[in-house]
Chains A and B, each alone.
Chain A
Amino acid sequence: MQEYKKIAITKDEIVPLAKKMRENRIALAMIHGFINDEGKPNISYEYEVGNGIESYTVDGEDTLPTISDIYDLGAEWAEREIVELMEVTFEGLDTSKRLFMPDNMLDGQGQIIVTPMDELIDRAHGKKGE
């Protein structure tokens, strides 16, 4: 059975922890971003330790330091995904170019556009959005 351990940390601990993990050749499985019940970000760094996962979670912070200089593209892509899908800033992360769709699309906004289902139905029936 794979083990899972959740550990709360502060944002000041993110970089020293990542450095320690990298030095010990521990892989970063992923970085997750959720929105908590208060509408604030909940970011967790999942490290592959032994037979399981140690999940280091920072709750309620919308500005965090990047670890892309430590875990390279493995962290950079995960951080860029969170930046583009949630209102979170990673200090030191290069966000000059987008990951999700290039910057020359969608009038430079590059955001993922979701057309609501009711609007699609209305369009199909010629009600609006012609």
Chain B
Amino acid sequence: MSYIVPIGPYHPALEEPVHARLYTDGEQITDAEVFIGYNHRGIEKLAQQKNFIQTVTLVERVCGICSHSHALGYAMALENIAGMNVPKRGQYIRVIMNELERLHSHFLWLGIALHLVGHDSLFMHTWNEREVIMDMLEEISGNRVNYGMVTIGGSRRDIDDDKRRKILEMLDKVEKSMVRLRDILLSDKTVALRTQGVGVLTTEDSIRIGAVGPHARASNVPVDVRKDSPYCCYEDFEFEKAVYPTCDVFSRVVIRVLENFESIKIIRQALEMLPTGPINLGTKIPKIPAGEYMVRHEAPRGQLCYKVVTDGSEFNKRVSIHVPTFKTAPTIPTMLRGNSVADAGLIVASIDPCFSCMDR
């Protein structure tokens, strides 16, 4: 018997609104469609009415998980238009925030994945670790979600020696937990049974569709903006592009674990080599000449693009945001085909979707 099974836009297996329509033959999915746009907020249009400083605050609210990435992408585009040289200390602080954000985002996704596979004790353990990072972000910035750490021309808040020591201590603890978590994830039967061979996206399909970020790297495609097109002094740090060859949901789990170790490595280097000097070029509304620029940033979910057009006034002429989920969500039908309906929620979640970003 053939059925059409609707999932969402509001469904217990989905954290945010999206609608997937599954075409099934009995329990098996034969095809699928994805519909987005349930919560589109028109932020790009709204940005045209805001000055540059207001827009940093606005775009930071595109997403609750990778808020720093959005503010950074926008600021980098303006800095390039104006030809600003951001002080190195400011750049390093941006890198530290980027990687702390990646850590808590990956822990968040790991927890959701573990919850969906039915391993709730490990889900709680994972989110417990995430909480430690959130507390540290709060200690650094005063905020748990929208950190307000980015300003055009640098960072808004410094990391002093006391905070530096606390971050390093926190990283030691998190790394120890990560080792334990890695060992459990790689050997646990429940995780293996629910994720291995499920939701496969082959390397060829990933390249064909144009997937980005950890989702592409889990299909053995070595793309990472931090290495391919460095920014914010990423070229100063030694780290590996994590790739894994099995191309299934398990591969996506492994990639997040491996990337967490790389993020810890980057943060340690940034803290140890933190240059002296100013953290920004001042916090007043900067003078930005007419121009346009597009920048790419490796956000936790993959390549985030910001294109900004200015006309010499203190307002944006155009702001265009393209988010990683817009590049990874088109892979969902390919991954769903041939799998069972019971795995659909997990497979959709395996791209680490952010519909808040996509409905910007």
Knowing A77-B326, A102-B19, the reply to whether A112 touches B37 (Cβ < 8 A) is yes
Query: What chain B residues lie within 8 Å of A46 (beta carbons)?
Result: 294, 305, 307
Tell me if B296 and A2 are in contact (CB < 8 A). Answer: yes
How many interface residues does A have (CB within 8 Å)? 35
A60 within 8 A of B: no
Knowing A102-B19, A102-B35, the reply to whether A51 touches B229 (Cβ < 8 A) is yes
Name A's B-contacting residues (CB within 8 A).
Answer: 1-2, 4, 6, 27-30, 32, 34, 44, 46, 48, 51-53, 55, 71-78, 81, 84, 97-102, 112, 114
Name the contact of B231 in the complex, choosing from A2, A72, A102 (C-beta under 8 A): A2
Tell me if A2 and B303 are in contact (CB < 8 A). Answer: no
Cα distance, A78 to B228, chains bound together (Å): 23
B40 within 8 A of A: yes
Knowing A4-B80, A46-B307, the reply to whether A74 touches B37 (Cβ < 8 A) is no
Tell me if A74 and B80 are in contact (CB < 8 A). Answer: no
Tell me if B209 and A74 are in contact (CB < 8 A). Answer: yes
Encode B290-331 as 1/0 by CB contact (under 8 A) with A.
001111100000010101010000000010101000110111
Chain B residue at minimal CB-CB distance from A31: B322
Contact-residue size bin, chain B (C-beta under 8 Å from the other chain): 20 to 34
Query: What chain B residues lie within 8 Å of A100 (beta carbons)?
Result: 35-37, 40
Query: What chain A residues lie within 8 Å of B293 (beta carbons)?
Result: 4
Instruction: Mark out the residues of chain B between 26 and 40 whose CB falls within 8 Å of any chain A CB in the assembled complex.
Output: 33, 35-38, 40
B12 within 8 A of A: no
Cα distance, A32 to B305, chains bound together (Å): 11
Tell me if B36 and A99 are in contact (CB < 8 A). Answer: yes
6 contacting pairs across A/B (C-beta < 8 A): A2-B296, A52-B229, A71-B210, A101-B38, A102-B35, A114-B42
10 new A-B contacts at CB < 8 Å, known A29-B305, A71-B210, A73-B331: A1-B231, A2-B80, A2-B229, A28-B210, A46-B305, A48-B229, A52-B229, A77-B326, A77-B330, A112-B37
Query: What chain A residues lie within 8 Å of B303 (beta carbons)?
Result: 29
Cα distance, A75 to B40, chains bound together (Å): 20
Tell me if B320 and A32 are in contact (CB < 8 A). Answer: yes
Closest chain-B Cβ to A21's Cβ sits at a distance in Å of: 12
Query: What chain B residues lie within 8 Å of A6 (beta carbons)?
Result: 292
Query: What chain B residues lie within 8 Å of A71 (beta carbons)?
Result: 210
B189 within 8 A of A: no
Specify which of A32, A52, A55 lies most central, judged by the most chain B CB atoms within 10 Å of its CB.
A32
Instruction: Mark out the residues of chain B between 267 and 305 whose CB falls within 8 Å of any chain A CB in the assembled complex.
Output: 292-296, 303, 305
Cα distance, A81 to B37, chains bound together (Å): 10
Cα distance, A34 to B320, chains bound together (Å): 9
Q: Across chains A and B, which 9 residue pairs bring their CB atoms closest together, nearest first? A: A74-B210, A100-B37, A73-B330, A30-B322, A102-B35, A73-B209, A32-B320, A53-B294, A4-B293
Query: What chain B residues lie within 8 Å of A78 (beta carbons)?
Result: 322, 326
B21 within 8 A of A: yes
Cα distance, A6 to B309, chains bound together (Å): 12
Query: What chain A residues lie within 8 Å of B228 (beta carbons)?
Result: 48, 51
Knowing A28-B210, A51-B229, the reply to whether A34 touches B318 (Cβ < 8 A) is yes
Tell me if A73 and B294 are in contact (CB < 8 A). Answer: no
Cα distance, A29 to B326, chains bound together (Å): 11
Chain A residue at minimal CB-CB distance from B231: A2
Instruction: Mark out the residues of chain B between 4 and 52 whose CB falls within 8 Å of any chain A CB in the assembled complex.
Output: 19, 21, 33, 35-38, 40, 42
Cα distance, A122 to B154, chains bound together (Å): 43
Specify which of A6, A29, A51, A114 lies most central, judged by the most chain B CB atoms within 10 Å of its CB.
A29
Specify which of B33, B210, B309, B330 lies most central, judged by the most chain A CB atoms within 10 Å of its CB.
B210
Tell me if B37 and A29 are in contact (CB < 8 A). Answer: no
Cα distance, A72 to B80, chains bound together (Å): 31
Tell me if B231 and A53 are in contact (CB < 8 A). Answer: no
B180 within 8 A of A: no
Query: What chain A residues lie within 8 Å of B229 (beta carbons)?
Result: 2, 48, 51-52
Tell me if A1 and B35 are in contact (CB < 8 A). Answer: no
Tell me if A72 and B37 are in contact (CB < 8 A). Answer: no
Closest chain-B Cβ to A120's Cβ sits at a distance in Å of: 15
Name the contact of A98 in the complex, choosing from B35, B42, B80, B309 (C-beta under 8 A): B35
Knowing A1-B231, A4-B293, A74-B327, the reply to whether A29 touches B322 (Cβ < 8 A) is yes
Closest chain-B Cβ to A107's Cβ sits at a distance in Å of: 16
